[in-house]
A and B are shown apart, each in its own frame.
Chain A
Amino acid sequence: GAVVSQHPSRVICKSGTSVKIECRSLDFQATTMFWYRQFPKKSLMLMATSNEGSKATYEQGVEKDKFLINHASLTLSTLTVTSAHPEDSSFYICSASGSGSPYNEQFFGPGTRLTVL
């Protein structure tokens, strides 16, 4: 199956700093990538959808200026949490889908656990 990686797997940062999370499709071209957030013991909530070369589409209630998403290539999307605060601490998961995925096949990354002190 297709492989999606995320880096870093875990990050701890101080309040006010910015953190960048990378999502890479290792063996296929991801025309669409999704970013989800999961608070402890909660469900996954979609934050945004990004198509390669286009601006991301954010879900209602997600601040686009705070969560910057870039999908500049067919294998890489990045999520930058700007001026992070403790309430941004969460598990961030990306998924990727290729152009040849007629069944909405999404491949998930292993997730990034962000802790903001």
Chain B
Amino acid sequence: AQKVTQAQTEISVVEKEDVTLDCVYETRDTTYYLFWYKQPPSGELVFLIRRNSFDEQNEISGRYSWNFQKSTSSFNFTITASQVVDSAVYFCALSAYTGTASKLTFGTGTRLQVTL
């Protein structure tokens, strides 16, 4: 069975602060994908990143960066110099690596509130 844990239910930061959202996962699969999605108040899911289990390189995209550590089954997400527009619920998700579409198991989400 797959499981994704996002222990932080809600985080509040002041604009320009850095913030890290934690994600810990469990899976019996040796190969798998990890994802992060952003869900703004409108409800639509915005894809942020996909990482396969073969690739443990950290990734940076603008103010966003991701730290994948297979040894601790974690895939943490850091926003540098946060902005009000970053306020949203962020979901970490996991899927099997089957070569075809397979279901996503989502964490419970972390609500990020960025204030001025």
Contacts and interface: CB of A to CB of B under 8 A. Distances in A.
B91 A43 contact: yes
Contacts of A95: 104
B116 interface: no
| Residues of A in contact with B, size category | 20 to 34
B63 interface: no
A78 interface: no
Interface in A40-87: 41-46, 49
A59 to B, nearest CB: 8
B5 to A, nearest CB: 11
Contact of A32 (B43, B100, B109): B100
A35 to B, nearest CB: 10
Contacts of B37: 108
Nearest to B103: A46
A91 B101 contact: no
Contact of A108 (B42, B44, B97, B107): B44
B33 A42 contact: no
A17 B33 CA distance: 39
Interface residues of B, number: 25
Contacts of B42: 110
Contacts of B95: 104
A104 B111 CA distance: 26
A30 to B, nearest CB: 9
A34 B43 contact: no
Interface in A90-117: 91, 93, 95, 97, 101-106, 108, 110-111, 113
A46 B101 contact: no
Interface of A: 31-32, 34, 41-46, 49, 91, 93, 95, 97, 101-106, 108, 110-111, 113
Interface of B: 33, 37, 42-45, 47, 50, 52, 91, 95, 97-109, 111
Give the 10 A-B CB pairs with smallest separation, nearest first.
A97-B101, A32-B101, A108-B45, A110-B44, A111-B43, A43-B108, A44-B106, A43-B106, A46-B103, A104-B95
